[in-house]
A and B are shown apart, each in its own frame.
Chain A
């Protein structure tokens, strides 16, 4: 009996090992969650502004890409890609041809994106991606109409 009484006294003390386990787990959690935060990336373009003109103006080739409320993309009254498509293969192919033909005529290929008012921003970014994939650098937005 005397021996049994003694046993619990030996083990008194702070349990270090589980604490280290927990602390390491927390440490790894915070390290991972801080690196997982997604970085923001750029898609840049220029708004039409007033520019001084000292050379004769060469009219660039211009294509107007309409985006309907449903997300349907229309160029020259012809629909491109499905509403669900996010990589816009048809539009990219058409824009690539457009850029090549403009280059052959030695004029700039300009694209104007004209979305309807309720089109979500994500859809516009898809179209800008397609322009970028096709190698078109001059992308503009139709700002006319009252906002």
Chain B
């Protein structure tokens, strides 16, 4: 009995830690839009993640940035990796004006490959 309890506790602790680590600070929590046509990617390399929340606040990775800082950030990433794709994570309620600002900034610095992050609708 004792070894089984040991093992079960170990698994329990493992899942608790993994789930908290996976959530913490890695990306901004958003309620993404639902899409019927999107695919879960196999290859997520060459990506720069930009998030926009419902209030229009822009995040590069998980840090809130101004549009100017965003431009220089993407520019720097693009210099290192010319195949950079910008993954835009916008909340379902984000207004187009805020997303447009972001798209304009991307186009201005030459990052033309854009991906919208969505949830798959089943």
Contacts and interface: CB of A to CB of B under 8 A. Distances in A.
A120 B92 contact: yes
B118 A147 contact: no
Contact of B116 (A20, A119, A128, A147): A128
B15 A27 contact: yes
A44 to B, nearest CB: 4
Contacts of B118: 40-43, 125
A80 interface: no
Nearest to A26: B12
Contact of A44 (B4, B92, B104, B115): B115
Contacts of A118: 95-97
Contact of B19 (A16, A30, A125): A30
Contact of A40 (B99, B106, B114, B117): B117
A26 B104 CA distance: 47
Contact of A121 (B8, B85, B99, B113): B99
A102 interface: no
B51 to A, nearest CB: 11
A93 to B, nearest CB: 16
Interface in A1-52: 16, 19-20, 23-24, 26-27, 30-31, 33-34, 37-50
Interface of B: 1, 4-5, 8-9, 11-12, 15-16, 18-19, 22, 32-41, 85, 87, 89-97, 99-101, 103-104, 106-107, 110-120
21 contacts: A16-B1, A24-B8, A27-B8, A27-B11, A40-B32, A40-B89, A40-B118, A40-B119, A41-B120, A42-B115, A43-B37, A49-B112, A87-B36, A119-B96, A120-B93, A121-B90, A121-B95, A121-B96, A124-B33, A124-B96, A132-B37
Interface of A: 16, 19-20, 23-24, 26-27, 30-31, 33-34, 37-50, 67, 87, 115-122, 124-125, 128-129, 132-133, 141, 143, 147
